[in-house]
Amino acid sequence: MTAAPVRAPDGKAGSPALRFTNLIGHVLDRLAILIAVSAIVVIFLALMAEVVVRYFTSAGLGWPNEVPNLLFPWLITGGIVVGAQRGAHIAAEALRSVLDAAKLRLLLMGINMLVAVSFAYLAWLSLQVIQITKVQVFPMTGLGQAWAYSSLLFGFGGIALAAAVNLIRVAYAADPRLVHQTETEHMT
């Protein structure tokens, strides 16, 4: 005898597998936010230091000019992963409105599976890019450009993981339309 899957109203509670998946999604979301916020703060502070030093000494530090090259990709990929995790990406809603819950579930599970596999493959390919760029260094900091290209691994891997989390959420949700429904207190 097999147990029927436990359906949660919004895909956010229920079976241990769903709770564990939601924990992974929460950690991914917080990590991506931390990366994005840290990147923008460090970029701002480095450029502000460059401006202050130039103002008082008429000579620059030099290294702050490389900080945006290193951290801007991390800022962007952090934001993309947050969007993928929260379902806050651009979507065509017309098809969703004409499908019943069972057909929509199959469609969303198929889309999330395709996204997870595609972006996992891209994450794997980004390892080759990182290997190639290890020998290229920024002149002032001496850091390898692989630092900046490593954001591809985080971005692609994060999107693949977010799609896997969303796949499980959709599978367990009573109504797949409610998986990424914005809570009213967070609407703008």
On whether residue 8 sits in a domain, the answer given is no
Within-domain flag for 98 = yes
- Structural domains in the chain (count): 1
What mean pLDDT comes out for the span 163-167? 93
Q: What is the pLDDT of residues 23-42, one digit of tens each?
A: 899 999 999 999 999 999 99
Does residue 163 lie in a domain region?
Answer: yes
Structure tokens at 9: 């109203």
CA distance 11 to 18: 7
Task: Provide the 8-state DSSP code for 115.
Answer: H
Tell whether 51 is covered by a domain.
yes
Strands annotated E in the chain: none
Identify whether 30 is part of a domain. yes
175 is a domain residue: yes
Q: What is the C-alpha to C-alpha distance for residues 13 and 178, in angstroms, rounded to an integer? A: 12
So what's the pLDDT on residue 182?
Answer: 57
DSSP of 29-80, one letter per residue? Answer: HHHHHHHHHHHHHHHHHHHHHHHHHHHHHSS--SGGGTHHHHHHHHHHHHHH
Position 2 in a domain: no
Q: What is the pLDDT of residues 141-158, one digit of tens each?
A: 888 888 889 999 999 999
**Pair 136, 59: CB distance under 8 Å:** no
Residue 92 lies in domain: 16-180
> Is residue 119 situated within a structural domain?
yes
Q: What is the pLDDT of residues 59-75, one digit of tens each?
A: 878 888 889 989 999 99
Nearest Cα neighbor of 164 from 4, 15, 25, 5 is: 25
What single-letter amino acid sits at 80? I
* Residue 184 per-residue DSSP state: G
Residue 8, classed as helix, strand or coil, is: strand
| pTM of the shown model | 0.81
Tell me the C-alpha distance between 70 and 147, whole Å: 7
